[in-house]
Structure 1
Amino acid sequence: MTSLICGSLAYDSIMQFGGRFSEALLADQLHKINVAFLVPEMRREFGGCAGNIAYNLKLLNGDPLIMATIGNDGGSYLERLDRLQITRRCVRTIDTSYTAQAFITTDVNGNQITAFHPGAMTFSHENKVADAGPVKLAIVAPDGRDGMLQHAVDCVDLDIPFIFDPGQGLPMFNGSELVHFIELATYVAVNDYEAELLTGRTELSLDQVARRVSALIVTRGDKGAEIFANGQRYEIPCVTAEAVVDPTGCGDAFRAGLMYGITQGMDWETTGRLASLMGSIKIAQQGGQNHAPSRQEIEDRFHKAFGYRF
């Protein structure tokens, strides 16, 4: 059951700030910020939402198909996909651009400030969903603006159900464009901050958004998640992590669990719980793709957390 993942491939430069952003930013001086954060720890990781989602879906023995663009410096990422046995037949190389790159600074409370260079991602609209072949489910995740718009329409034209996951790309779209995405989508997945931004820009309440799709999923960090589907609201608990190390990529891990549950026909409670578990596994490791539990270990941890097997 192939899952098409339309989104970014990126290199993440992840830096750790030993203090709190709230103590370094003066509320009455936000109109003229001039601040530097000392970050003695820095790593470069493979990232991008498409890469992260595909990685986690592969851990579940899913069949991810990435549709993304990568730059002239993307050779190491392509080699990694080969090692992971994740097909790259829908990954297009843009020779005139760098691969998208995120520069992420995290404080001691897990808050993040990110600077993002889109690079090759800007050309994502050159990829066509029709080239993917048979697909069970798709996700339109943060990517180039034109690519997100195009891929959503492509999915509808090809009768492919898809998750609209605007993520950090949400500010690129105005209210009417976001309403259009919602009307096209089968599912919408956002975190609590994105939910506030989505409802503010569209002037739709969460209930109104939920009535326009088969399911609306809102993640709320350590407070778990909510799934609005079938006229019901499902509360999904947060799974206690072995350690809280790095939130980078947790939302992508959650979405991989969603995609797996949907393609496998699981009920919404089980789907949400699996997604929550995947997020908790990821947060215990640095970077978006360094956790490596076996499928059996994931099943065992699900059983331990919820008392049954998925």
Structure 2
Amino acid sequence: MRLAITGSIATDHLATFPGRFADQLIPDQLAHVSLSFLVDDLEVRRGGVAANIAFGLGSLGLGPYLVGAAGEDFAEYELWLKAHGVHTEHVRRSSGLQTARFMCTTDEDHNQIASFYAGAMAEAPLIDLRDVARRMGGADLVLVSPNAPEAMLRHTRECREERLPFAADPSQQLARLSRDEVRHLLYGASYLFTNAYESALLLELSGWTRQEVLGQLGTWITTRGAEGVLVESEGARPLTFPAVPTAEAVDPTGVGDAFRAGFLAALSWGLPVSAAVPLGCALATTALETVGPQQYTVSAPDLCSRIERTYGSPAARLIAPHLEPLG
């Protein structure tokens, strides 16, 4: 299955604050916030939603095609991605801008305050997805993940025009989109990914009810952190899945991206949602136990063990044969 993963490519600058953001917020002064947090550490990691998802898929042996815009400083990052099974020939290189930067501080409750500098991502709307798909020999599924809004809208339109199956993952870019733009991204999507907060925001911005959203697309997957995952489709009973537990939560950055990688990998192997969600959750927890969204390693025995403990032997048996080549 040929997967085209469109979206952001970035460098993450991750800091940890040894306290709670909420303790620093004065309710009657929220209109005049001016805060500085003294952090304990700083980790500089490779990131960007599309690159994170492509890394996860590559680590699972899928050979995804990364489609996005990076800067003139991309060479070392590109070597890393190639070493982890990612095709990078469809990444646009800017000649004058740096690769995007994600700057995030996480408190002891795993709340986050972040900023994002677009950099070379501003050139992503110049990418012709139709040309990319032709050079790929066709795309079986295109993921439209957070990117320059104009690029997300263009890629979605091109998918519909070329009849390319696509998944919508607007995530943190929802706040930048108008009602018509949100609706444009959803119509005809095979899958929609959101977290719990984004789910509520999407309903508010689109002006649609939950049932109206489900009428526009195939399957809606909502990740809910420690509460697990909700899967909904029009006319079907909602399915809920628990999260894979951990006693070693370290860094939530990129956990949702790891979930998407595991989920899409299982789909590409022809497995049902009942197996795709467990693999996504197992990979997400693996990512949660490391600092940075591309620092985890994939172990077939570990993933299968996590899946069997949480979801039972049937799910593990479905997934295990596809993980065996990874060792």
TM superposition score normalised by structure 1 = 0.96
Counterpart of 2:286, as a letter, is I
Confirm whether residue 164 of structure 1 aligns to residue 168 of structure 2: yes
Q: Which residue of 2 aligns with 1:13?
A: 13
- Residues 1:205 and 2:213 are matched in the alignment: no
The alignment's C-alpha RMSD in Å is: 1.4
CA deviations on 1:232-258 (whole Å, 9 max, x unpaired) are 201011110241100000010111122
Report what 1:225 is aligned to: 229
- For the Cα contact (< 8 Å) 1:137–1:259, is it kept in 2? no
1:217 is paired with a residue whose SS is strand
State which of 191, 195, 220 in structure 2 corresponds to 1:216: 220
Report the equivalent of 2:324.
none
Contact 2:143–2:168 (8 Å) recurs in 1: yes
Q: Which residues in structure 2 correspond to 1:56-67 (within 5 Å)?
A: 56-67=56-67
Asked if the contact 2:244/2:307 (under 8 Å) is kept, the reply is no
The one-letter code sitting in structure 2 at the alignment partner of 1:219 is T
SS in structure 1 of the partner of residue 5 of structure 2: strand
Q: Deviations over 1:143-184 (max 9, x none)?
A: 111111111111112222111101111111111111121113
1:212-231 superposed Cα distances (whole Å, 9 cap, x missing partner): 21101111111001000252
Shift in Å, 1:296: 4.1
Question: Which shifted more, 36-45 or 149-158?
Answer: 149-158
What one-letter code is carried by the residue in structure 2 that aligns with 1:80? W
Q: Once structures 1 and 2 are overlaid, which stretch shifts more, 118-127 or 294-303? A: 294-303
- Please give the secondary structure, in 1, of the residue aligned with 2:15: strand
Identical aligned pairs, as a percentage? 30
Contact 1:60 1:295 (C-alpha < 8 Å) held by counterparts = no
Q: Which residue of 2 aligns with 1:77?
A: 77
**Match runs of 1:134-173 below 5 Å:** 134-173=138-177
Partner of 1:267: 272
Letter aligned with residue 252 of structure 2: P
The 3-state SS of whatever aligns with 2:68 is strand
Work out the CA distance in 2 between the residues paired with 1:145 and 1:212. Answer: 20
Letter paired with 1:19: G
Residue of structure 2 in register with 1:256 after alignment: 261
Which residues of structure 2 form unaligned runs of 5+?
Answer: 320-327
How far apart are 1:196 and its partner, in Å? Answer: 1.1
Q: 1:85-141 CA deviation, whole Å, 9 max, x = no partner?
A: 321111111011111001000000001111100011111112122223221111100
Distance in 2 separating the partners of 1:152 and 1:300: 37
Work out whether residues 63 and 87 of structure 2, in 8 Å CA contact, stay in contact via their aligned partners in 1.
no
Question: Contact between 1:162 and 1:185, CA under 8 Å: does it hold in 2?
Answer: yes
What is the match of residue 3 of structure 2?
Answer: 3
Task: Pick the aligned partner of 1:178 from 176, 182, 185.
Answer: 182
Residues 7 and 143, structure 1, Cα contact 8 Å, conserved in 2: yes
1:95 aligns with 2:99: no
Distance 1:50 1:58 in 2: 12
The residue identity in structure 1 corresponding to 2:12 is D
* 1:48-98 deviations in Å (ceiling 9; x for gaps): 001110111122222211001101122221121232232111111101111
> Structure 1: which 5+ runs fail to align?
none
Residue matched to 1:305: 310
Q: The residue matched to 2:64 in structure 1 has which SS?
A: strand
Q: What are the equivalent positions in structure 2 for 1:230-249 lying under 5 Å apart?
A: 231-249=236-254
Q: Name the CA distance, whole Å, in 1 between partners of 2:301 and 2:161.
A: 38
Which secondary structure state, in structure 1, belongs to the residue aligned with residue 142 of structure 2?
Answer: strand
CA contact (8 A) 2:251 2:288 kept: yes
Opposite residue 156 of structure 1, the aligned amino acid is R
Q: CA deviation at 1:306?
A: 2.0
How far apart are residue 40 of structure 1 and its match?
2.0
For the residue of structure 1 that corresponds to 2:309, the secondary structure is helix
- 1:68 maps onto 2:68 in alignment: yes
For residue 295 of structure 1, report the CA deviation from its aligned partner: 3.3
After the TM superposition, which of the residue ranges 290-299 and 237-246 deviates more from structure 2? 290-299
2:35 alignment partner in structure 1: 35
